[in-house]
Amino acid sequence: MDMTIQLDPQSENSPRRYRLEVTAGPHQGDSWILERAGDVVIGRADPSQIRLRNEPALSQQHMRLTVEADRITLTDLDSTNGTWLNGVRVQAARVDVGDQFGVADTAVMLAAVEQPAAGGQPPVAEPSVAATRLVLERSTKAHEETIDHTPSGEAASDPPQPDRIIGSYALGELLGEGGMASVYKAQHRRSKEWFAMKLVRAIDGVSEKQLQLFAREAGVILQLKHPRIVRAHEFGFHNNAPFLVMELLPAIDLQTIVDGLDTPQRIRTACWVTTRLLQALHYAHHKGIVHRDIKPSNILAYRKGRHLQIKLADFGLAKSYLDAGFSGITDECSVRGTLAYMAPEQFQDSLASQPTVDIFATGVCLYRLLTGVLPAESLKTGPVPPVQPDKLPQLPPQLAEIVARAVEKDPLRRFQSAEEMAAALHPFTQRK
With left for phi above 0 and alpha for psi between -120 and 50, is residue 175 left, alpha or beta?
alpha
In 3-state terms, what secondary structure has residue 293? coil
Whether 293 is catalytic:
yes
Classify residue 192 by its DSSP letter. Answer: -
Q: How far is CA 88 from CA 127, 239, 242, in A?
A: 37, 8, 10
Instruction: Identify whether the C-beta of residue 216 lies closer than 8 Å to the C-beta of residue 235.
Output: no
Kindly report the number of other CB atoms within 10 A of residue 234's CB atom.
25
Torsion over CA: 279, 283, 288, 291 (sign) = negative
In 3-state terms, what secondary structure has residue 67? strand
What residues contact 306, with CB distance under 8 A and at least 6 apart? none
C-alpha of 112 from chain center? 27
The strand pair at 38-43 and 50-51 is best described as parallel
- The reply to whether omega before 47 is within 30° of 0 (cis) is yes
- 307: exposed, middle or buried (C-beta count within 10 Å: 0-12, 13-18, 19+)? exposed
Torsion over CA: 110, 133, 65, 228 (sign) = positive
Instruction: Identify whether the C-beta of residue 22 lies closer than 8 Å to the C-beta of residue 29.
Output: yes
- Given the residues 76, 96, 99, 293, select the one marked as catalytic: 293
198 is in an annotated binding site: yes
- 230: exposed, middle or buried (C-beta count within 10 Å: 0-12, 13-18, 19+)? buried
Q: List the alpha helices (DSSP H) in 11-56.
A: none
Kindly report the number of other CB atoms within 10 A of residue 247's CB atom.
16
Can you tell me the distance from the alpha carbon of 79 to that of 91, in angstroms, rounded to the nearest whole number? Answer: 10
Can you tell me the distance from the alpha carbon of 309 to that of 86, in angstroms, rounded to the nearest whole number? Answer: 35
Strand partners for 65 = 40, 74
Nearest CA-CA partner of 174 in 201, 198, 190: 198
Instruction: Identify whether the C-beta of residue 189 lies closer than 8 Å to the C-beta of residue 153.
Output: yes
Binding residues for ATP: 198
The catalytic site residues sit at 293
Q: Output the known binding site.
A: 198
